[in-house]
Amino acid sequence: MHTIRHVFHQTQAPLMNSTQPWKRSFDVTLGLIILALLAPLFLIIAALVKITSRGPVIFVQKRVGKNGAVFAIYKYRSMYIDAEARRAALLAHSDREGICFKSKNDPRITPLGHWLRRLSLDELPQLLNVVKGDMSLVGPRPALPSEVAAYPARAMQRLSVLPGITGLWQVSGRAEIGFDEMVELDIHYARTGSLWIDLIILLRTFKAVFSGRGAY
């Protein structure tokens, strides 16, 4: 983590163009390889979600991507089907500082969902978003439209690049990182177009997932 932060704090380049050929080619190639390798795991998780709680296997939600474009993000459903209706009542009890809501003991999460979130397995369907071009493997996490509507001006710079499945925020502590620090990390990421940085973040993602730090 320290190494990555040092790299980003030393970077003063203009905001990265996330449509650079290297990045799109890298995302599609690696995304398709991971999809092929993990196909059996996809089926197992889908079956578990289906038999352990009522509702669809895949949860589809509107998120804000590059330059404010709204797209449908895919996740394995980790919550009960009435989760969205119950969200407003829980906002005052967020365990995370800032705009983005996070709760360590969210009652909307299913027993299986706690396990999926702990290992970030609920995010796997977003590989389809990567192949489609809505997202990148590495980038700022895509926010809800309601969250973006409350952004201060500086936070809007998060939208200058494609959102990612993983990113500097994830490998730095996830939900333990407050909103303001997350914004600064994402802006630093947007100032580099380095394939090397993406590779470092992807490798450190495995450590972050297995440690479970900030995963809720």
Mean pLDDT of 61-80: 95
If we measure between CA atoms, which residue out of 213, 143, 198, 172 comes closest to residue 31? 198
The neighbour count for residue 72, using CB atoms within 10 Å, is 11
Tell me the pairing of strands 164-166 and 136-138: parallel
Mean pLDDT of 188-193: 83
**3-state DSSP call for residue 15?**
coil
Mean pLDDT of 83-89: 72
Across the chain, what does the average pLDDT equal?
Answer: 84
Confidence of residue 176 (pLDDT cuts 50, 70, 90): confident
| C-beta separation of 140 from 158 below 8 A | yes
Specify the pLDDT at position 41: 97
Question: Which pTM was predicted?
Answer: 0.81
* Domain boundaries, given as residue ranges, for the chain: 2-211
Mean pLDDT of 139-151: 93
Question: CA torsion sign, 25 to 68 to 42 to 205?
Answer: positive
Confidence of residue 187 (pLDDT cuts 50, 70, 90): very high
20 backbone dihedrals φ, ψ, rounded to 5° = -55, 140
Distance CA 97, CA 94 (A): 8
Mean pLDDT of 3-15: 43
Mean pLDDT of 95-115: 75
DSSP class of residue 154?
G
Distance CA 99, CA 185 (A): 16
Mean pLDDT of 137-154: 93
